Amino acid sequence: VLLAVSQNTAALSIISNEKSINRRDALIGGAATILGAPGITWAGSNPNAPVAVLGASGKTGALCVASLLRRGLPVVALTRSGEWPPKKIDLNAVGFDGDATTSNPLLTIQACDVKDAESLQANLSGSRAVIYAASASKKGGNSKEVDGDGVIAAGNACLQQNVGRYVVISSGSTTRPNSLGFKFTELAVAGIMTQKRRGEVGVRDAYSSQSGSSYTILRPGGLDEPKQNIIQGPSALEITQGDVLAGFVSRADVAEVAVELALSYAPNVKNTACELYYRNKVVPVDKGFKKYLQDGSGLDRLYGESYDELFMGIKPNYDYLVDA
């Protein structure tokens, strides 16, 4: 029997170590509630409002900014230093070769630290959507500060500032503490998968009692880089919900999907989580999930020639599957 874990339950597992291992290989190997009030005008209802990207100097966040600029949309690039673009990231990976400076009227660059709640409140105000692409780093903060507390604080700021959409780029296997993907990634960056899951649960709980804004948690598979850091597009992708299947995916495609989800107000993508990976090589997250590779398993495997078609079968108010 397949059961969707509701928004009233959570599963957290704490594993700690400090050894290093390749996250890409690991993944493929294996909060206060804020009430929505009637009559609020959500910033998401204004198509001219910008999309804010937290962690914009990172490898995926920078591509989210570039992807929005390529679409001709206003964007706020939020980095700890207040500087953008990062020097070593090729923005052409998402097809952007335009002006990446503040002389571009579509681009605003501001300093924002996800560890600072007041900074989040100030910088997310007036945004139609927010993409959280930050993660733990030596200079930016540890996994508890960035992948846990920061994700929750940004979600609360979105609610308090009436931001219409909040998209969190998380990770596959966050709900599967016994899987190799979870264990190896937890070793690579101490505690990161536990904190990513804590961030997911905190956002879910914060959004559970209001209806004016919505979130989507995007869980990519192993990041296939740099040899394939290009946009392969929706026809190459598969989406599932349940955290039972995985595969590789490029940061470029993760950025594109994150942007499309941030811009979407389709009812079925609200307050939910989904996994993303290329459909050409799909593996179970854990050996006990091999049956989900077969037709008739009860798991919906979503495909599409467009993003709208790819997203069409996503279920709202979803977290992960329990194999009961």
Residue 215 scores a pLDDT above 80: yes
pLDDT tens figures, 147-189: 999 999 999 999 999 999 999 999 999 999 999 999 999 999 9
What pLDDT is attached to residue 44?
57
Residue 24 scores a pLDDT above 90: no
Burial class (CB in 10 A: 0-12, 13-18, 19+), 293: middle
What pLDDT is attached to residue 252?
97
Contact (CB, 8 A) for 64 and 56: yes
How big is the chain by its Cα radius of gyration, in Å?
Answer: 18
- Looking at per-residue confidence, does 75 or 265 come out higher? 75
- Mean pLDDT computed over 303-312: 97
What pLDDT is attached to residue 119?
97
3-state secondary structure of 226: coil
What pLDDT is attached to residue 43?
56
Residues linked to residue 3 through DSSP beta bridges, in sequence order:
322
- Mean pLDDT computed over 16-22: 36
- Mean pLDDT computed over 299-312: 97
Residue 247 scores a pLDDT above 50: yes
Calpha distance 154→222 (Å, rounded):
25
- Mean pLDDT computed over 35-45: 47
Residue 291 scores a pLDDT above 90: yes
What pLDDT is attached to residue 55?
98
Among 5-19, 47-61, 170-184, 269-283, which is the least confidently predicted range?
A: 5-19
The fraction of the chain above a pLDDT of 70, given in percent, is 85
Contact (CB, 8 A) for 62 and 78: no
- Looking at per-residue confidence, does 259 or 40 come out higher? 259
- Mean pLDDT computed over 92-108: 97
Query: Helix crossing, 192-207 with 151-160: angle to 10°?
Result: 20
What pLDDT is attached to residue 225?
63
pLDDT tens figures, 119-138: 999 999 999 999 999 999 99
What pLDDT is attached to residue 323?
64
Residues 6+ apart with CB under 8 A from 118: none
Strand ranges inside the chain, DSSP E: 2-4, 51-54, 75-79, 107-111, 129-132, 165-169, 214-220, 222-223, 237-240, 245-246, 248-249, 272-278, 283-284, 321-323
Q: How sure is the predictor about 118, in pLDDT bands with cuts at 50, 70 and 90?
A: very high
Q: How sure is the predictor about 11, in pLDDT bands with cuts at 50, 70 and 90?
A: very low
The fraction of the chain above a pLDDT of 90, given in percent, is 78
- Mean pLDDT computed over 16-39: 38
